[in-house]
């Protein structure tokens, strides 16, 4: 099966799930398409509230999107997810550095599966999804149509350019699974850096996005996360480390969005400069992050929201 066959297979499945969905090619994108949810999927979708656009893929990005969906549902009129822009690893023509990033640990069948899961998570909640090239005039027109007030990024394979970075009045923020303050793990292989250093702990960093990869001003970091096994060794499998590092994504996203919506409610604008996640997280939760990794094999199931927390009401 070729990459184009895989792309068509995903599209067939998306239309099989709901034949009223629409697939549209943007004229100047070299790959991917804009996929619009069906009218019945969009009927209950928020039309008002603080507008957030998501650039995300893979398991961390999936958890981020699920968190925002939960926030939107539980806070009517407060939050509006206007779109998802995601990696297209099923298409080998997509310039997303797939062979340098986490996608290289998966065969094509699994890449197809994970892409479909991500797109389906958006469409089924009435969120339009774009899988193509972002440095184009057509995407800039789409961006203006969505008109986001803030952008959240997590595991996205294209470098964003100035028209995207400068667009949202409240800023654009990336969730990166490495301790950037300590100058560890910038770039596409944060877990390899961690393994090479035989690190005991790491942190998830939220930083503002610039045209230089993972170099924007740091907004805040998670409390320390134990990345060793019960026997005290650092796992050699990056997917095992990934399962642990994604854990605080939902809480961190909820905290950041809560701050953004609060600023909007108060009539303020501009970027969030700093968030102290250490103070926002309970001691019990910080102790949870410090527990060793349970198993030295990757989890098979998709990450779930931590329903035991109260950050989902803004």
* C-alpha distances in Å from residue 125, one per residue of 99, 101, 213, 306: 31, 28, 31, 19
Compute how many other C-beta atoms are within 10 angstroms of the C-beta atom of residue 259: 18
Residues 226 and 263 placed together within one structural domain of the fold: yes
Region 244-265: mean pLDDT is 96
Residues 182 and 160 placed together within one structural domain of the fold: no
Last residue of a domain, one of 168, 198, 214: 168
**pLDDT number for residue 107:** 93
Does residue 230 surpass a pLDDT of 60?
Answer: yes
Residues 213 and 155 placed together within one structural domain of the fold: no
**pLDDT number for residue 1:** 44
Region 78-97: mean pLDDT is 95
Closest CA to 159 of 242, 97, 240, 77: 97
**pLDDT number for residue 10:** 87
**pLDDT higher for 1 or 36?**
36
Inter-residue contact 35 to 23 (CB < 8 Å)? yes
Inter-residue contact 19 to 119 (CB < 8 Å)? no
Please check whether residue 309 lies inside any domain of the structure. no
Counting other chains too, the contacts that 304-311 makes at CB distance below 8 Å and 24 or more residues apart are 305/63, 305/66, 305/67, 305/70, 305/250, 306/250, 306/251, 309/250, 309/251, 309/254, 309/285, 311/250, 311/251, 311/254, 311/255, 311/258
What pTM, to 2 d.p., does this model score?
A: 0.96
Summarize pLDDT for 160-211 with one digit per residue, the tens.
999 999 999 999 999 999 999 999 999 999 999 999 999 999 999 999 999 9
Please check whether residue 311 lies inside any domain of the structure. no
The DSSP code for 104 is G
User: What H or E segment, with its residue span, contains residue 23?
Assistant: strand 22-24
Summarize pLDDT for 93-135 with one digit per residue, the tens.
999 999 999 999 999 999 999 999 999 999 999 999 999 999 9
User: How many domains is the chain built from?
Assistant: 2
Inter-residue contact 56 to 63 (CB < 8 Å)? no
Does residue 3 surpass a pLDDT of 70?
Answer: no
Region 248-276: mean pLDDT is 95
Q: How long is the chain?
A: 314
CATH of the domain at 76: 3.40.50
**pLDDT higher for 114 or 9?**
114
Residues 120 and 241 placed together within one structural domain of the fold: no
Can you give the C-alpha Rg of the chain in angstroms? 19
Does residue 311 surpass a pLDDT of 80?
Answer: no
Please check whether residue 145 lies inside any domain of the structure. yes
Please check whether residue 308 lies inside any domain of the structure. no
Please check whether residue 312 lies inside any domain of the structure. no
Compute how many other C-beta atoms are within 10 angstroms of the C-beta atom of residue 86: 30
Last residue of a domain, one of 151, 168, 185: 168
Region 214-236: mean pLDDT is 96
DSSP string across 277-312 = HHHHS-HHHHHHHTSPBS-SS---SPP---TT-STT
Residues 154 and 224 placed together within one structural domain of the fold: no
Rounded Cα–Cα distance for residues 28 and 50 (Å) = 30
Q: Which domain holds residue 241?
A: 177-299
Residues 89 and 203 placed together within one structural domain of the fold: no
Residues 12 and 153 placed together within one structural domain of the fold: yes
Place 5 in a pLDDT band, splitting at 50, 70 and 90: low
Region 1-7: mean pLDDT is 59
Residues 282 and 224 placed together within one structural domain of the fold: yes
Please check whether residue 164 lies inside any domain of the structure. yes
Residues 157 and 183 placed together within one structural domain of the fold: no
Please check whether residue 98 lies inside any domain of the structure. yes
Average per-residue pLDDT for the chain:
94
Residues 153 and 231 placed together within one structural domain of the fold: no
Inter-residue contact 96 to 155 (CB < 8 Å)? no
Inter-residue contact 28 to 109 (CB < 8 Å)? no
Summarize pLDDT for 48-67 with one digit per residue, the tens.
999 999 999 999 999 999 99
Last residue of a domain, one of 168, 186, 209: 168
Residue 6: which residues within 8 A CB-CB, separation 6 or more? 90, 91, 108, 111, 112
Please check whether residue 305 lies inside any domain of the structure. no
Does residue 232 surpass a pLDDT of 80?
Answer: yes
Does residue 233 surpass a pLDDT of 60?
Answer: yes
Residues 26 and 54 placed together within one structural domain of the fold: yes
Residue 88: which residues within 8 A CB-CB, separation 6 or more? 7, 31, 32, 94, 96, 115, 131, 132
**pLDDT number for residue 250:** 96
User: What H or E segment, with its residue span, contains residue 154?
Assistant: strand 150-154
Residues 6 and 147 placed together within one structural domain of the fold: yes
Place 2 in a pLDDT band, splitting at 50, 70 and 90: low
**pLDDT number for residue 308:** 65
């Amino acid at each position: 099966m070729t990459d184009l066959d895989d792309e068509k297979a995903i599209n067939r499945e998306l239309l099989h799930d709901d034949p009223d969905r629409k697939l549209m090619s943007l004229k100047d994108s070299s790959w991917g398409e804009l996929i619009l949810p069906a009218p019945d999927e969009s009927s209950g979708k928020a039309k008002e509230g603080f507008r957030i656009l998501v650039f995300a893929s893979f398991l961390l990005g999936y958890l981020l999107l699920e968190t925002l969906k939960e926030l939107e549902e539980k806070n009517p009129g407060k939050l509006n997810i206007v779109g998802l822009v995601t990696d297209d690893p099923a298409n080998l023509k997509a310039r997303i550095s797939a062979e340098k990033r986490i996608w290289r640990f998966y065969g094509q069948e699994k890449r197809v599966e994970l892409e479909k899961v991500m797109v389906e998570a958006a469409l089924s909640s009435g969120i339009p999804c774009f899988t193509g090239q972002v440095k184009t005039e057509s995407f800039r027109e789409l961006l203006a149509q969505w008109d986001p007030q803030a952008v959240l990024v997590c595991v996205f394979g294209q470098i964003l350019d100035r028209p995207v970075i400068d667009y949202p009045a409240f800023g654009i923020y990336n969730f990166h699974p490495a301790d950037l303050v300590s100058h560890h793990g910038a770039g596409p292989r944060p877990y390899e850096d961690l393994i090479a250093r035989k690190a005991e702990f790491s942190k998830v960093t939220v930083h503002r996005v610039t045209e230089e990869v993972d170099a924007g001003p740091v907004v805040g970091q998670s409390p320390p996360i134990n990345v060793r096994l019960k026997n005290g060794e650092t796992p050699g499998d990056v997917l095992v480390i990934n399962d642990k590092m994604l854990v605080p994504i939902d809480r961190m996203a909820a905290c950041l969005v809560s701050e953004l919506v609060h600023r909007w409610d108060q009539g303020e604008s501009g970027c969030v400069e700093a968030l102290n996640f250490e103070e926002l997280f309970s001691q019990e939760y910080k102790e949870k992050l410090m527990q060793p990794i349970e198993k030295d094999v990757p989890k098979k199931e998709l990450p779930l929201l931590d329903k035991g927390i109260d950050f989902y009401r803004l």
